[in-house]
Amino acid sequence: MTNNFMDQNQQMQPNMPLSMNHGAHEVLDVHEVLSGAIGALNAFIFYRPHVQDQELLNILDRQYAFMLDEYNITAECFKTGQDPSHPTRTYKMQMGNDSKYGLTPGQPKKPMQSANEINDSIISGALLSCHKMLTTGKANAALESTNPVVRRVLQDSIPNCIEMAYELSLYQNKNGYYQIPQLSQADMQAMLNMYGQADKAQGMPS
């Protein structure tokens, strides 16, 4: 019985429709990615009326449009198993990449007690969390994907999630919402010099 089933299954696979060219782990993980993307897009819509800073509003609108397009092509190739209507695009942030280092004492952070407390610091942090969640989810799904098109779309979209998260973190840092601690100069120098260049091991090919 087992051998016959395996023979039949092997004969069916070459003629399998492209839309069925997915493994079980892939289907479940991409389902999580698409559900997470919907949640993130919904969050952007929810937070938009509460944004006060025009710069943050511009970031939110540009990122939303980009994320919506990425969601659509991911859902498209997942459903059909074929190339989407266009390749994955590259997100370009519109701000410099300078960071301010060091800590300035301030009020401890804590959860809101009222919806009236919402502000640009909370909003930008929530949007940043969306990108962190999607980055991890897409990486996991790409590693499980057997469909080459879906894997490529997920793989190519991960740098975009990272870029959008970076843009929001720079915005937060610039406005004092997120501070970046540093090690002492001696500790940092020790860490930077902790690793050296490796030579080829004996017997390994060039």
Domain limits for position 173: 20-93+118-192
User: Lowest-confidence range among 55-69, 89-103, 123-137?
Assistant: 89-103
Answer whether residue 60 shows pLDDT above 70: yes
21 falls in which pLDDT band (50, 70, 90)? confident
Does residue 183 belong to any structural domain of this protein?
A: yes
Number of domains in the chain: 1
Residue 2 lies in a domain: no
Q: Distance (Å, rounded) from C-alpha 193 to C-alpha 171?
A: 31
What pTM, to 2 d.p., does this model score?
A: 0.86
104 found inside a domain: no
Q: How confident is the model at residue 16, as a pLDDT?
A: 58
Confirm whether 181 is domain-assigned: yes
- In terms of Cβ atoms closer than 10 Å to its own Cβ (0-12, 13-18, 19+), residue 8 is exposed
Judge contact between 70 and 88, C-beta under 8 A. Answer: yes
Whether residue 103 is contained in a domain is answered as: no
For residue 199, tell me if it sits in a domain: no
What CATH code is carried by the domain that includes residue 160? 1.20.1260.10
